[in-house]
Amino acid sequence: MTVIASVDRSLDGTDPVLAGLIGEEFERQSGTISLIPSENYVSRAVLEAVGSVFTNKYSEGYAGRRYYEGQQVVDRLEPLAIERAKQLFGVEHANVQPYSGSPANLAIYLAYLEPGDTVMGMSLPMGGHLTHGWNVSLTGKWFRSVSYGVNRDTGRVELDEVRALARRERPKLIFCGGTAIPRAIEFAAFAEIAREVDAILVADIAHIAGLIAGGVHASPVGHAEVVSTTTHKTLRGPRGAILMCAADHASAIDRAVFPGLQGGPHNNTTAAIAVALEEARRPEFAGYARQVVANAKALAAALTGRGFDLVSGGTDNHLILIDLTNKQVSGKIAAKALDRARITTNYNTVPFDPRKPFDPSGMRLGTPAATTRGMTEPEMRQIARWIDEGIEAAKRQDETTIERIASEIRELTSGFPIPGGPA
């Protein structure tokens, strides 16, 4: 057998074990409802681009300034992705090379801070991200980190508290945004605070980028010096990230990403990001973004109607954080029971959580993935019913009810197919 023949076999032929796993994962995704707010289903077009021959190419550097030859096509691809990001978000500069959201944020530290400098972000258990200075993260170990949270009564960020902390601690970098924030981020107010203390404001829009692109959340552009986003959450692209800024920050950001932090960009990811940005520009995408929020509001209302206690009392975006304390069940028990019932969520700390992070009081839900499948308000009300029944069943160890819900969900999901199945 020639070498060529051996690399030209299909996955099925080369590695049936792995092909089988992909098939099983497709079935799992098809037959369950993902309410994990950071997940989504990419289009077939995005999947094709991720799996394209761009994965073969090394391209350290930037267009026109590469360290490898053979960039005739990549040097058209990357500027296309950049141009689309600039258009979609209305920014002067974009870097599409960060491997994911965490390295994108690390590049920002490298661009603006020295080890030991002060960074301020939302604390992880209050809804921030690890990379905003949390203690187990490099960003909390190598930098001096101070954190703000939310108000105990309102469940919302208290800007006076943020301002007071910033004045006292004089951070060089301030992060706004996070991973478990059900309310709109007040970019203008954060910018005012950052200006007062001469800090650089970073808006981390990883969760809400698709909502901003779709016009249902305010944009940080013009307020934050740097905007960081993943591309795989509400934006519905491949796993990757984009850093955006005004022209005067462009070279600091670009140098930090390469050669500061990374080597060669993942060109296949860049290709898929370009596809996702093209999709996000279209009117259907704005419709999707509106429905993501409408679905979250419908789900929140239905859950509230069933006696669930939502942090901040509801949602402005795609995300709902339930405090399960009044239901006398832990987040982990609830999430694991719902997983058996074919609803995928994640257990999560709630602000001021008295329980441990590995078995916290809350559960985090989001509507982007279900919305991409075409689910709307009636399905959200049905999902709230299943969540309620599933959690009550878990409390009395009633696996029969959980199995009944699982089979009902199998039935429902068959009417909402996901892209990427066997051709």
Ligand X SMILES: *Cc1c(COP(=O)(O)O)cnc(C)c1O
* Residues acting as catalytic residues: 58, 60, 204, 230, 233, 239
What is the number of the residue whose Cβ is closest to ligand X?
Answer: 101
**Mask of contacts with ligand X, 37-66, x by CB under 6 A?**
-x----------------------------
Provide, rounded to whole angstroms, the least separation between the CB of residue 206 and ligand X. 3
- Rounded-to-integer distance, Cα 193 and Cα 62, Å: 34
Binding of ligand X at residue 207 (CB under 6 A)? yes
Binding of ligand X at residue 129 (CB under 6 A)? yes
Provide, rounded to whole angstroms, the least separation between the CB of residue 340 and ligand X. 26
- Rounded-to-integer distance, Cα 207 and Cα 178, Å: 7
299-303, Cβ contacts within 8 angstroms, sequence gap of 24 or more: 299/365, 299/367, 299/380, 299/381, 299/383, 299/384, 302/380, 302/381, 302/383, 302/384, 302/385, 303/384, 303/387, 303/388
Residue type at 297 in one-letter notation: K
Closest CB to ligand X among residues 233, 327? 233
Provide, rounded to whole angstroms, the least separation between the CB of residue 304 and ligand X. 25
- Of 61, 101, 220, 237, which lies in the binding site for ligand X, with binding defined by CB under 6 A? 101
- Of 40, 102, 262, 317, which lies in the binding site for ligand X, with binding defined by CB under 6 A? 102
Stretch that binds ligand X, among 95-103, 164-172, 187-195, 303-311 (CB under 6 A): 95-103
Backbone torsions φ then ψ of 98, nearest 5 degrees: -55, 135
Binding of ligand X at residue 238 (CB under 6 A)? no
Provide, rounded to whole angstroms, the least separation between the CB of residue 248 and ligand X. 24
Count of residues touching ligand X (by CB under 6 A): 14
Closest CB to ligand X among residues 101, 390? 101
Provide, rounded to whole angstroms, the least separation between the CB of residue 122 and ligand X. 9
- Rounded-to-integer distance, Cα 289 and Cα 401, Å: 34
82, 36, 407, 305 alpha-carbon torsion, rounded to 10°: -120
Count the neighbouring beta carbons within 10 Å of the beta carbon of residue 326.
11
Q: Are 327 and 344 in contact (CB under 8 A)?
A: no
- Of 29, 230, 270, 361, which lies in the binding site for ligand X, with binding defined by CB under 6 A? 230
Provide, rounded to whole angstroms, the least separation between the CB of residue 281 and ligand X. 22
Going by C-alpha positions, the residue among 320, 287, 270, 340 that lies closest to residue 73 is 270
What region does 280 belong to: left with phi over 0, alpha with psi -120 to 50, or beta? Answer: alpha
Backbone torsions φ then ψ of 22, nearest 5 degrees: -65, -45
Count the neighbouring beta carbons within 10 Å of the beta carbon of residue 73.
13
Q: Are 260 and 110 in contact (CB under 8 A)?
A: yes
Q: Are 120 and 112 in contact (CB under 8 A)?
A: no
Stretch that binds ligand X, among 81-89, 97-105, 109-117, 409-417 (CB under 6 A): 97-105
Q: What six digits make up the tokens of 156? A: 């919302």
Cα 48 to its chain centre, rounded Å, is 21
Provide, rounded to whole angstroms, the least separation between the CB of residue 339 and ligand X. 20
Closest CB to ligand X among residues 207, 327? 207
Binding of ligand X at residue 100 (CB under 6 A)? yes
Cα 305 to its chain centre, rounded Å, is 28
Backbone torsions φ then ψ of 278, nearest 5 degrees: -65, -40
Stretch that binds ligand X, among 100-108, 260-268, 273-281, 285-293 (CB under 6 A): 100-108
Provide, rounded to whole angstroms, the least separation between the CB of residue 332 and ligand X. 21
Closest CB to ligand X among residues 171, 366? 366
**Mask of contacts with ligand X, 130-149, x by CB under 6 A?**
-x------------------
Going by their DSSP bridges, the two strands 61-62 and 33-34 should be labelled as: unpaired
Binding of ligand X at residue 266 (CB under 6 A)? no
Stretch that binds ligand X, among 54-62, 143-151, 174-182, 408-416 (CB under 6 A): 174-182
Closest CB to ligand X among residues 241, 383? 241
**Mask of contacts with ligand X, 176-195, x by CB under 6 A?**
-xxx----------------
Q: Which residues bind ligand X (CB under 6 A)?
A: 38, 100-102, 105, 129, 131, 177-179, 204, 206-207, 230
